[in-house]
Amino acid sequence: MDPRKNPFAPGAGVKPPEFVGREALMEAADIAFDRIANGMHDNSMMLLGLRGVGKTVLLNALHEQAKSKRFETVKFEVPDKSGGHLARLLVTTLSAVLRKLSIHATSDHVLAVAVSALRNFASAFRIEYEGFSFGATPTSADAASGDLEADLSDLLATVCMAAKARQRAIAIFIDEVQYLSKSELSALARALQNAAQQGHPLIVVGAGLPQIAALVGDAKSYAERLLVFHEVGPLSEEAARRALEEPAARQGVAFSTGALDQITEHTSRYPYFLQTWGKFSWEQASGTPITTDDIHHALPSITAFLDTSFFRVRYDRCTQFEQRYLRAMSELGPGPHRTGDIAQTFGVTSNQVAPVRRNLIESGMIYSQRHGETAFTVPLFDEFMKRAIPRLESHSPNRRRRT
């Protein structure tokens, strides 16, 4: 059918043609936003889920929701696992918030303190920052000790006070939270605790891979009480159908019942895969309804697209040894698997592969939500690994060849 009218477009963070299945979470956030905007306490939120499950799209929707209320918001994505980005990202984005708060104000002591705290913070962490002046510069040097934990708490406290003076609250949205370093996470946890104790109107909404739960737990034990973890999983059967049917119906196109059954089964109702199956079965079909035959014929293009767009980029970033470890893991199926079982399939002991496993966790390829367990962070990755490396080879350097 006409590709110009194809509503499905899989892509990282791409707004879906129909945003479905996250009503409960949106409602929970809505309550938290309203409470905080009204001077009450509520917990910050962490959205945890695998790649392609719809975290970024959900984070964006929550961001829009907060913007429609009495919030000044900042939003950014942590770029990679090298760490050390948090201070810079906050300086840039909070600067815009303070500028906005300063519009129409000629003098305001609280705001002047926040502006100077931001400048101090930037200079303490050697962040290039032109800044701007507002009112008389206060003499106290808040947020300038060079210790991220102390300074971030100070900075956010002053920014919150400046917002509060204008009946606004502060919401910080952070994508790819798993790339924050432990010290950055601790600093954030401490700032949240400080804000809760002082009654500052602050909420942080983070999104990232499931390993964050463990990271945050390590970072600060009290973080767990300040944050609610929400698991973002595959869509429900009903939501998955709506994600496909509604956008197609707007173009006068239907899916046969069999076709819907097949797609929900193949995709395990993962949003990125639903969009992919939707796109290619639409392309394949010659008219309405889209049938199981169309899906069958679209499968080679679907596999080729997923391999290049979704799986291959992640695979290529791994060393050869890492790839072979992943291949051994895929032999056991989608997972999670016992770490010892993977090592055994690879023909080694757990200790021998501990470093490679750790690297793969750090780079976000696999994760371990429970001790001694390992799972892929990308759904259907096990099947891809079997395509990429068809034959399983165990790792034994001195292995004798059978003759």
Report the distance separating Cα 52 and Cα 30, nearest Å.
24
Q: Which of 24, 43, 22, 51 is nearest to 363 (CA)?
A: 51
Does residue 55 bind ligand ADP (CB under 6 A)? yes
Q: Which is nearer to ligand ADP, 44 or 267 (CB)?
A: 267
Instruction: State yes or no: residue 208 binds ligand ADP (CB under 6 A).
Output: no
- Indicate which of Mg ion, ligand ADP, none lies near residue 278 (CB less than 5 to 8 Å, by partner kind): none
Token digits of residue 392: 């399983």
Give the type of residue at 262. Q
Stretch that binds Mg ion, among 55-63, 130-138, 177-185, 314-322 (CB under 5 A): 55-63
Length of the chain: 403
What x/- string results for residues 270 through 299 when contact with ligand ADP is judged by CB under 6 A? -xx--x------------------------
Angle at 272 between CA 82 and CA 338, to 5 degrees: 65
- Bond from prior residue into 289 cis (ω within 30 degrees of 0): yes
Among 44, 56, 194, 281, binds Mg ion (CB under 5 A): 56
Q: List 255's β-bridge partners, or say none.
A: 290
Q: Which residue, 21 or 336, has its beta carbon nearer to ligand ADP? A: 21
Choose the binding region for ligand ADP from 18-26, 66-74, 190-198, 333-341 (rule: CB under 6 A): 18-26
Could you tell me the smallest distance in angstroms from the CB atom of residue 242 to ligand ADP? 8
Measured from the CB atom, the residue of 56 and 281 that comes closer to Mg ion is 56
- With CB under 5 to 8 Å by kind, the binding choice for 119 among ligand ADP, Mg ion, none is none
Least gap, CB of 317 to ligand ADP (angstroms)? 16
Give me the torsion for CA of 273, 336, 386, 304, rounded to 10°: 10
- Give the helix/strand (H/E) hosting 228: strand 227-231
Residue 365 engages ligand ADP in binding (rule: CB under 6 A): no
The answer to whether the beta carbons of residues 348 and 339 sit under 8 Å apart is no
Phi and psi dihedrals of 29, rounded to 5?
A: -70, -40
- Identified binder of ligand ADP from the candidate list 21, 210, 278, 336, rule CB under 6 A: 21
Concatenating the DSSP letter of every residue in 121-177 gives HHHHTT--------SSPPS--TT-SS-HHHHHHHHHHHHHHHHHTTT-EEEEEEE-G
Q: Which is nearer to ligand ADP, 25 or 254 (CB)?
A: 25
Q: Rule CB under 6 A: is residue 84 a binding residue for ligand ADP?
A: no
Which residue's C-beta sits nearest to ligand ADP? 54
Interaction of residue 54 with ligand ADP, rule CB under 6 A: yes
- How many helices (DSSP H) and strands (DSSP E) are in the chain? 17, 8
Are the beta carbons of 51 and 207 closer than 8 angstroms? Answer: no
Choosing from 14, 40, 136, 304, the residue that interacts with ligand ADP (CB under 6 A) is: 14
Q: Which residue has the tokens 């009112």?
A: 135
Binding part of the chain for ligand ADP, among 51-59, 284-292, 337-345, 359-367 by CB under 6 A, reads: 51-59
- Told to check if 276 binds Mg ion by CB under 5 A, we report no
Nearer to ligand ADP, 143 or 243 (CB): 243
10 is a site residue for ligand ADP (CB under 6 A): yes
Identify the DSSP state of 401.
P
| By the rule CB under 6 A, 31 interacts with ligand ADP | no
Residue 351 structure tokens: 């200790």
Residues at the contact surface with ligand ADP, assessed by CB under 6 A:
10-14, 16, 19-22, 49, 51-57, 243, 271-272, 275
The footprint of Mg ion (CB under 5 A) covers 56
